[in-house]
A and B are shown apart, each in its own frame.
Chain A
Amino acid sequence: MNAETIAFAALALVLVGSALMVVLSTNLFHAVLWLALALTGTAGIFLLLEAEFLAAVQLLLYAGGIITIVVFAIVVTERLVGESITQTNRRIVGGGLVALALVGIIANAIADSPLPTTRPPLTSDLTRAVGETVLTRYALPFELLALLMVAALLGAIYFARPDD
């Protein structure tokens, strides 16, 4: 048991536990807070994979951005923030069976595949490599992404504008 294994096990436990609470919590507001923990755990996994830049993006955009707007949406639409009402529909058993079957199939496929067990040593700074590649080889998709985000934000404003 080295330090990486222990850290991975702890992060996996946090991630799976908080993900289960996201889908099982009867209070939607609590579910969002569990989602924040799950996203932070994912940032920890990114750190284990030596992707510090992505861990920072994950924390800033997700844990900072998405959680805030989801909380706003709940406050606007849900008058029962503090109460626990039935949050599941009639497909809970079937959905559970489908999810279990899918995880079994994927785990089986992963176990059967010849996957690398060691990672190649880092030759250069990953953050620098990401930045250089984004602005050279992926410059066009990057600009299209900017366009997409502007369109999405304009669309969101259009939808949420008051009627007049």
Chain B
Amino acid sequence: MRGYLLRRLPSALLVLLAASFLVFAVLRLVPGDPAAVLAGPDASPETEAAIRARLGLDAPLPTQYVRWLGDLLTGDLGPSYAIGGRTADLIGDGLGATVELTLGALLFVVVLGAAFGILGATARNRWVLGTVRVLTTGALAVPPFVTGVLLVLLFSVLLGVLPPGGRVPLLAAPDLGVQYLLLPSLCLALPSAAVLGRYLKDGIERALAEDYVRTATAAGITPRRILRRHALPNALPPVVTLLGMQTGHLLGGAVLVEAIFAWPGLGQLAEQALVRRDYPVVRDLLLLLVTVFVLVQLLTDLVHAWLDPRIRWE
């Protein structure tokens, strides 16, 4: 297992380096000079040049790139241009909120996905099967901004049991934090949970049709145990891969859901930074997103290898 990790690590690092280069290159090549935006439309060329020099934007591009990599390693990302404050602090504040939201959503994805998948594959009752099918189709078909509004309408307006928006940090006040977290994370999770459920259902059905399940049945092992110990471990690897990819979707979807529920996370920050052309914030956010993606993929591969012994021997 450790050998597998060591084999996979260099390629992950390489992807990160390539991503950093791409992020840097793309943002510098698109039209729109950050210094000009910062200086405003009426500023003189001298003012612009002064700003450019202050921000180090007058240095040759390779130098800027290397300087940025150095900043990344030290963790000091410099000041934001437009929003104010230091980039690292802005991202740090938003990151906590978004991680909280994403993890909450992931929990919903796993629990609901598992329920959809296992019930869909093993239930015999027509009504249960029909309900599962309607729920998964609905969760997949209705976009988050509609489910978000519906959830708020139901739980906040009609029932009045959950707050319609805002955030209380979970670690600061767990009981209150959960109340604020429930609706946005559920809203964010629903489409992914439906996709995961579909995959899991197919995977379990496929595994249950395999010869080794027949072997286990002939050996007198109970259906429940066959599902848990024989079919699920075989159905999981592709689902884990999917979950890894869905985590990326969750991060992307967070931008929208954060807006609906006034959740002060990276999505809100990204929106602000884009609108106000805060170049370093956008750049570092992008790289952060890529890093999370790469880490999740690495984790996915490790879990995959742990689940399926054949991969370790490739």
Are the chains A and B members of one assembly?
no
Chain B contact residues, CB within 8 Å of chain A: none
Residues on A lying within 8 angstroms of B by beta carbon are none
